[in-house]
C-alpha cells in the first residue's frame, strides 16, 4: 500500500513549505501578467476548446537531500505552451515526489487558465491511484484527494499513464532542478538543456554509479554489479564526439561538480555476436577515440540499442580543485548542435 511510505505530519509541513516556496519564487503569477499569458495562449487555441497535455515527472537527489519537480504543457497540436521546474526538500518517498509534481502541474495549468487537461506521468502506481476513487488514508492520500478536488474545479481532467520514453522532457526538467535554487517557468519554450529532446537523434544511456564494481566478467549477471550501485537513465546525441562532452552529460545527470570530482567511465562494450548471445567486455573510456569506438559499436551491432556505462567519481586534490575551478568553462550539453 502507498500509505506505508508517508505520514500525515510530513504532509502538513510539506503543504506549508510548498505554498511558501511558491510565494517566494513567484509561482503565484500576478493577475496582470497572467492575463497577458492567457491572451497569448488563447491565440494558439489552447484554452477552452481542445484538451492540452501535461507531462509531469519528479527526480530525487539523495546527496543534496532534495528533489525536483518538472512539467510541460502542450496544446492539442503538440506545441509547447509552458513548462516549469521547481526544487523542493527531499520527501519521504518517491511516490510523494510524484504526487507533489502532479499537484504542482495541475496548479500551474489552472493558474494559466487551462480547463481541459490530460495529465500524463510514467509512475503507473500514482496514475492508478489518481484514477481510483478509493484513496489511501495517509498524507499521500490527502495529496491525492487534494488533486481530485483541484481537478473537479476544472472543466475536464483525465489521468493517463505513459512510458518513460514518452515522458523524457518532463524528466529532463525535473533533473535540471539540481542547477536551480527556485521555481522557474518558461512560456512557449523549454530550457536549452531539454530542447533537443524534441528533435535530436538520441541513444539510451544507462549509468551505473554509487558503489564499487564487483563483477569482473562483463557477461555475467547484471552489466555492472556491486553493493550500492544505482541506475540512472538519460539519453545522448549520436553526434556527440568528445570525451569532455560525454563527461559533462554524465556529471549533469549525476548532479556532480566537475570542478571537485575526477570521473572515470567504463563502457560495457559488445565484443562479438554469436548465434544466441552477445559477448561483452569492459573498456575504459579515456580518449575521444574511445568515444568514437562506442558509437561505432552501436552502428555495427543493431542488436544493441543503448549504451551502458559504469561511473566512478573521485575527489580532486585541493590544488587541482583550485586550478580546475579557474579554468572550467560551463557548457550546455548539445549547445554546439543548435
C-alpha cell at 140: 499521500
C-alpha cell at 313: 567519481
pLDDT top residue among 214 and 3: 214
221 touches 184 (CB < 8 A)? no
pLDDT score of 335: 34
Assess whether pLDDT exceeds 80 at residue 4: no
The mean predicted confidence, pLDDT, of the chain is 76
Superfamily per CATH, domain 2-196: Ribonuclease H-like superfamily/Ribonuclease H (3.30.420.10)
pLDDT tens profile 117-143: 999 998 888 898 888 855 565 778 888
Annotated domain spans of the chain: 2-196, 200-337
Assess whether pLDDT exceeds 50 at residue 153: yes
Assess whether pLDDT exceeds 80 at residue 249: yes
Nearest CA among 35, 112, 100 for reference residue 75: 112
Kindly state the percentage of the chain with pLDDT values over 90: 29
Between CA 183 and CA 187 the distance in angstroms is: 14
C-alpha cell at 264: 572515470
CA torsion through residues 191, 192, 193, 197, sign:
positive
C-alpha cell at 53: 497535455
Three-class DSSP labels, 163-177: CHHHHHHHHHHHHHH
- What is the distance in angstroms between the CA of the first residue and the CA of the last residue of the chain? 46
> CA–CA distance from 207 to each of 107, 174, 223, 231, 332 (Å)?
33, 17, 10, 6, 19
- CATH fold for domain 200-337: Ubiquitin-like (UB roll) (3.10.20)
> CA–CA distance from 318 to each of 322, 327, 330 (Å)?
6, 15, 20
Dihedral pair phi/psi, residue 72, rounded to 5°: -135, 140
DSSP letter for 227, please.
T
Report CA 61 to chain centroid distance, whole Å. Answer: 11
Confidence category of residue 196, pLDDT binned at 50, 70, 90:
low
Q: Classify 262 in phi/psi space as left (phi over 0), alpha (psi -120 to 50) or beta.
A: beta
pLDDT score of 104: 94
pLDDT score of 17: 45
Instruction: Check for a shared fold between 2-196 and 200-337.
Output: no
pLDDT tens profile 275-288: 677 888 999 999 99
3-state secondary structure at position 242: coil
- DSSP per-residue string spanning 51-100: -EEEEEEEEEEGGGTEEEEEEEEE-TTS-EEEEEEEEEE--SSHHHHHHH
pLDDT top residue among 2 and 238: 238
pLDDT tens profile 80-106: 899 999 999 999 888 999 999 999 999
Dihedral pair phi/psi, residue 324, rounded to 5°: -70, -40
Burial class (CB in 10 A: 0-12, 13-18, 19+), 5: middle
pLDDT tens profile 10-69: 443 444 444 444 434 433 333 343 444 444 444 444 444 578 899 999 998 888 899 999
Between CA 68 and CA 277 the distance in angstroms is: 39
pLDDT score of 266: 94
Dihedral pair phi/psi, residue 55, rounded to 5°: -100, 130
Between CA 86 and CA 137 the distance in angstroms is: 27
Report CA 72 to chain centroid distance, whole Å. Answer: 12
233 touches 165 (CB < 8 A)? no
Mean pLDDT of 234-254: 86
Assess whether pLDDT exceeds 50 at residue 192: yes
Q: Per DSSP, what are the bridge partners of residue 236? A: 203
pLDDT top residue among 177 and 323: 177
C-alpha cell at 330: 560551463
- Alpha helices, DSSP H only, in 162-310? 168-176, 192-195, 243-254, 288-300
pLDDT tens profile 264-318: 999 999 888 776 778 889 999 999 999 999 988 887 776 777 899 999 998 887 6
Confidence category of residue 322, pLDDT binned at 50, 70, 90:
low
pLDDT score of 135: 54
3-state secondary structure at position 285: strand
* pTM over the 0.85 mark: no
Amino acid at each position: 500500500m502507498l500509505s506505508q511510505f508517508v505520514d500525515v505530519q510530513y504532509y502538513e509541513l510539506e503543504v506549508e513549505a510548498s505554498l511558501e516556496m511558491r510565494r517566494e519564487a513567484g509561482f503565484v503569477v500576478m493577475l496582470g501578467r497572467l492575463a497577458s499569458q492567457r491572451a497569448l495562449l488563447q491565440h494558439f487555441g489552447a484554452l477552452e476548446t481542445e484538451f492540452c497535455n501535461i507531462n509531469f515527472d519528479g527526480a530525487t537527489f539523495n546527496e543534496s537531500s532534495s528533489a525536483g519537480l518538472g512539467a510541460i504543457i502542450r496544446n492539442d497540436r503538440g506545441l509547447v505552451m509552458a513548462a516549469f521546474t521547481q526544487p523542493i526538500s527531499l520527501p519521504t518517498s518517491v511516490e510523494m515526489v510524484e504526487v507533489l509534481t502532479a499537484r504542482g502541474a495541475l496548479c500551474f495549468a489552472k493558474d494559466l487558465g487551462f480547463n481541459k487537461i490530460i495529465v500524463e506521468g510514467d509512475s503507473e502506481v500514482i496514475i492508478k491511484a489518481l484514477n481510483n476513487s478509493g484513496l489511501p488514508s495517509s498524507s499521500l492520500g490527502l495529496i491525492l484527494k487534494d488533486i481530485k478536488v483541484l481537478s473537479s474545479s476544472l472543466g475536464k481532467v483525465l489521468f493517463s499513464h505513459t512510458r518513460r520514453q514518452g515522458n523524457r522532457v518532463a524528466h529532463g526538467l525535473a533533473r535540471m532542478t539540481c542547477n536551480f535554487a527556485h521555481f522557474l517557468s518558461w512560456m512557449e519554450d523549454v530550457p536549452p538543456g531539454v530542447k533537443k529532446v524534441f528533435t535530436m537523434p538520441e541513444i539510451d544511456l544507462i549509468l551505473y554509479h554509487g558503489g564499487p564494481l564487483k563483477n569482473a566478467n562483463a557477461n555475467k549477471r547484471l552489466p555492472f554489479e556491486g553493493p550500492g550501485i544505482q541506475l540512472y537513465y538519460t539519453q545522448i546525441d549520436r553526434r556527440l564526439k568528445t570525451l569532455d562532452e560525454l563527461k559533462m552529460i554524465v556529471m549533469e545527470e549525476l548532479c556532480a561538480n566537475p570542478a571537485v570530482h575526477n570521473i572515470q567511465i567504463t563502457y560495457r562494450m559488445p565484443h562479438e555476436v554469436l548465434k544466441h548471445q552477445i559477448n561483452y567486455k569492459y573498456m575504459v573510456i579515456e580518449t575521444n577515440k574511445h568515444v568514437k569506438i562506442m558509437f561505432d559499436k552501436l552502428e555495427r551491432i543493431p542488436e544493441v540499442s543503448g549504451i551502458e556505462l559504469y561511473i566512478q567519481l573521485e575527489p580532486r586534490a585541493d590544488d587541482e580543485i583550485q586550478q580546475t575551478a579557474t579554468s572550467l568553462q560551463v557548457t550546455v550539453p548539445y549547445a554546439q548542435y543548435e
